[in-house]
A = this chain, B = another copy of it.
Amino acid sequence: MNKTLGILGLLVLACVATALINPQFVSAYNLQNVIRWTSLFGILSIGVAFVIITGGIDLSIGSVVGLVGCLLPLLMVEHGFSPAAAIGAVLGLSVAIGLFHGLLITKLGLQPFVVTLCGLLFYRGYARFVTGDQTQGFGTGFETLRGLATGKPTTVATSIAVLAAGALLLEVLRGRREQEGPRRGPLLAAGAVFLAALATGVFDPGGLAQVRAPAPFLIMIVIALAAGLFLNATVGGRYLYAIGRNLTAARYSGIDTDRIVIGAYVACSALAGLGGVLFALDVNSVQPAMHGNFYELYAIAAAVLGGCSLRGGEGTVTGVVIGAAVMRVLYNSINLLEIPTQLEFSIIGAVILLGVAADELVRRTVARRRRGGS
């Protein structure tokens, strides 16, 4: 929680600073773009968070994004698959890939880094081979389908208001169920967010209230809710954390650790596949050798920035999503503030490092203070 607040602070800081220097940042158009990119990368990050929580890693995400991105137009345009069939096929493939990784890692005991590094190489090569290195795209057809990535069905304010209202309700229900009444913190937070969302409609009807929510944002919200529910409230989620910290302890407790770990890799690859579909639909032009390169690193970086520990057993969905947002906002600011683009990587790298270092320092200081005080 503490970690999540820290990264949330970083996000707010980055947003406010950029908006002050260049007000274009808060234009509806720009915010929509930032939100769309955040959502696309956020989906990948949520996936890899599962794997990271088990103490593993998935380096093949970028290649899966590339492969799926190549196959989807290939199947639809060249082989005449219907959109549903094509999407089904590539998502099925992604699940199979995750299953394959999971089986190698659990049943054969291979190291996740190695298995997925080989995946990184293999799927990239296969994508290039199967397309003969030809750029793939949907051309100008399939506009409806592409709406999945480019559509903007509602406004951000509405969706956030709905979310906050849902959270309020849930907290009340939870309080009743656990017979301790709702907790004040969550109630206040959810209430404030709800009111803020409504307030934009009143005070800035032509501005922020107009920012529409891109379809990937809604998709990511659904995924994040499901993932959050799974991690926090189900037995499976609890097992995931236990496995990440102490695999033997989990096994001795009778947990079917293999199944859970395999599940994590399947979830990761499936979300990479879904992300791949959305990326392809959004960009509409997929170059087999390049599409998705390094995305695994961005996804992992976002997850780590959001509080996942690569040692396993730690991480929250909220944190991960905020981590992804920080990275995209940074990219966006670099462009809006007209900082030389060559420095882009440097700035991102430096901010991530400063973020985790500050987090660590704060953690230490707090621990020392608490110790002194008690």
Contacts and interface: CB of A to CB of B under 8 A. Distances in A.
Interface of A: 57, 59, 104, 108-111, 113-115, 117-122, 124-126, 128-129, 132-133, 288, 297, 300-301, 304, 309-311, 340, 342-350, 352-353, 356-357, 360-361
B309 A132 contact: no
A229 B99 CA distance: 42
Nearest to A345: B125
A349 B120 contact: yes
A360 B311 contact: no
In the assembly, how many copies of this chain are there? 2
Nearest to A305: B114
A111 to B, nearest CB: 5
Contact of A121 (B104, B109, B348): B348
A173 to B, nearest CB: 38
Nearest to A363: B109
Pick the most buried of A57, A301, A342, A350: most chain B CB atoms within 10 A of its CB. A342
Nearest to A350: B122
15 contacts: A59-B297, A108-B360, A109-B360, A111-B309, A117-B304, A118-B352, A120-B297, A120-B349, A121-B345, A121-B348, A125-B343, A125-B348, A126-B346, A129-B342, A129-B346
A169 B343 CA distance: 54
A211 B172 CA distance: 79
A315 to B, nearest CB: 13
A304 B114 contact: yes
Contacts of A353: 104, 110, 114-115, 118, 122
A121 B360 contact: no
Given A113-B300, A118-B350, 6 more contacts: A117-B300, A117-B352, A118-B352, A120-B297, A125-B344, A129-B346
Contacts of A361: 108
Contacts of A356: 110-111, 114
A309 B348 CA distance: 30
Given A353-B114, A356-B110, A124 B345 contact: yes
A110 B304 CA distance: 11
B342 A117 contact: no
